[in-house]
Structure 1
Amino acid sequence: MTEAQTLPTRRDEAWRYADIDAVQRLGTAALDAWQDIAVANGETWQDTMVIGTDAPELRRIRLTLGEGATAAIFVTNTGRDFTRVEVEVTLGKGAHFEFGGVTIGGGDAVREFVTTTIHAEPDATSNQTVRAVHWGTGTGNFLGEIKVARHAQKTDAAQDFKGLLLEAGASANAVPQLEIFADDVKCAHGATVGQLDEAARYYMAARGLSPEQSQRLLVQAFLGDAFVELDDEAAREKLLEAALTALEGASL
């Protein structure tokens, strides 16, 4: 079987908005490169990352959380070519998973997060907050699937996506998927896409702020939600600063 036959296509639900030409440039070796992490019972694991270069990039992380374990991932995705972070997490009893992500940029690049959250045991919780800011013909995607096993009662899972488009040619896509077999659960998702608040920009201009300053402050406030649960202030500032540095290339 040739490489072209094994690569995903847009007919695959998890790749429906991806840059398939870029995926072909990555090749099947990138698709096989999973980072496997097991978090033992009661332990805590956390990772923060800023990703994005001029070349296509794929990060695939597979997490297994033991009973009462906690895992958190916070990401700023500023790729100038197709850049995708994919996370698959399986939660044990009473475990918690936190994900906070930002996609930001212009050009014609596709930047995306794809998550599969498997609530395999009772009493586990998960929360995912994603913010997307794009201009030019840039695209930000969030495909988030939550699976709840039949015996995983008292599951509490949430996803929240908001997109901010600074130019008419940009786009943002959210695809929440719920597969629930238990009956005593809380599973919620929300998705909105809009533009900058012109009233707020006018208010700031009236008080002497330049258009650039106004845009930066409004976007900073918008993005901040993704990193609220990150206790490390230095890491949080690093993620936000990377996003705001990418914003400097945006049109007003």
Structure 2
Amino acid sequence: MSAAPITQPVTRPTMRDEAWRYADFDAITTFAPEAFDEWREIDVAAGETFRECFILDSAAPTLRRIRINVAKGARAEVFAVNAAGDYARVELAVSLAEGAHFEFGGVTIGGGDATREFVTRLDHGAPDATSNQVVRSVHWGQATGNFLGRIDVGRDGQRTDAAQDFKAVLLERGASANARPELEIYADDVKCAHGAAIGQMDEMARYYMASRGIAPDIARELLIRAFIADAFAALDDEDARDGLLEIALKTLGER
């Protein structure tokens, strides 16, 4: 009789885990331990295109973990709005085959004291694969918006072209945002770029719009709409794009 396989118990993350360093650990204790080992698996066949758009707006702590395997010459796109009323975390672990592409556009937006975060890890282990990630964050009250993005380029990942861009606007003094872009590169023919910027709303733009008779609340909405629209610029479905934008702006209107 063969021995039963030994399984390791699932443990909750701690503050020592870099990928969880900005998480809300009070909320994390509400998840069952097995939740940290639950992943949705998506396989995108060679030459195919996969797209998913979703919204997180739950009032309870939420953890969504997705693994995406993108085959040769395939394309995967994920666009999301994280407007949850409590801690909400989206994790994407993406493996790219030769000539594959991954596109991610995400917005975290809201007030209260919630922490909303996107965490991505991309494996560029094959040649000629590309990826692009654009994340925008708008928060007020005591809320926090996070983006932790890691790109691993293996020795065979020659001619990788990968980019990630994070920008945050904080509408009130108590709000915060955190960005942690990471690159680990073992190939020598690559193009990788990342950028992060956190600040307040452009007061000069608001003044300019006010000088032309645009009411302050309308000016604010227009500026934020333009700001978050960057995250969905690569989404070529106009109805889906407008739907995501409207949900984000509805959250802003509840401020």
Range of TM-score over shorter length: over 0.9
What is the correspondence of 1:139-158 to structure 2 with a 5 Å cutoff? 139-158=144-163
For 1:230 and 1:157, the matched residues in 2 are separated by 18
1:90 paired residue number: 95
Deviation at 1:32, TM superposition (A): 2.1
Deviation at 1:59, TM superposition (A): 0.8
Deviation at 1:200, TM superposition (A): 1.3
User: What is the CA deviation profile of residues 176-218 of structure 1, one whole-angstrom value per residue up to 9, with x for unaligned ones?
Assistant: 1111110100111000011111111112222222221111000
The one of 53, 73, 94 equivalent to 1:68 is 73
Structure 1 unaligned residues grouped into runs of 5+: none
Give, as a single letter, the amino acid of the residue that structure 1 aligns with 2:169.
L
Deviation at 1:42, TM superposition (A): 0.6
The one of 157, 161, 165 equivalent to 2:166 is 161
1:184 paired residue number: 189
What is the correspondence of 1:201-216 to structure 2 with a 5 Å cutoff? 201-216=206-221
Deviation at 1:27, TM superposition (A): 2.1
What is the correspondence of 1:88-167 to structure 2 with a 5 Å cutoff? 88-167=93-172
2:40 paired residue number: 35
Do the aligned residues in 2 keep the contact of 1:106 with 1:249 (CA within 8 Å)?
no
1:199 paired residue number: 204
For 1:201 and 1:17, the matched residues in 2 are separated by 32
Runs ≥4 residues deviating over 6 A: none
RMSD between aligned alpha carbons? 1.4
User: What is the CA deviation profile of residues 207-252 of structure 1, one whole-angstrom value per residue up to 9, with x for unaligned ones?
Assistant: 22222111100000000100000000000011000100000133xx
SS in 2 for 1:189: strand
SS in 1 for 2:29: helix
Percent identical among aligned pairs is 60
For 2:148 and 2:215, the matched residues in 1 are separated by 36
SS in 2 for 1:236: helix
For 2:207 and 2:178, the matched residues in 1 are separated by 28
What is the correspondence of 1:5-44 to structure 2 with a 5 Å cutoff? 6-44=11-49
Give, as a single letter, the amino acid of the residue that structure 2 aligns with 1:134.
H
For 1:8 and 1:182, the matched residues in 2 are separated by 31
For 1:115 and 1:208, the matched residues in 2 are separated by 42
For 1:238 and 1:83, the matched residues in 2 are separated by 20
For 2:208 and 2:162, the matched residues in 1 are separated by 37
State how many pairs are aligned: 249
User: What is the CA deviation profile of residues 113-139 of structure 1, one whole-angstrom value per residue up to 9, with x for unaligned ones?
Assistant: 000000010000000000000001100
SS in 1 for 2:78: strand
SS in 2 for 1:212: helix
User: What is the CA deviation profile of residues 136-163 of structure 1, one whole-angstrom value per residue up to 9, with x for unaligned ones?
Assistant: 1100000000001111100000000000
Structure 2 unaligned residues grouped into runs of 5+: 1-6
1:220 paired residue number: 225
SS in 2 for 1:6: coil
User: What is the CA deviation profile of residues 18-41 of structure 1, one whole-angstrom value per residue up to 9, with x for unaligned ones?
Assistant: 001111102223222210011111
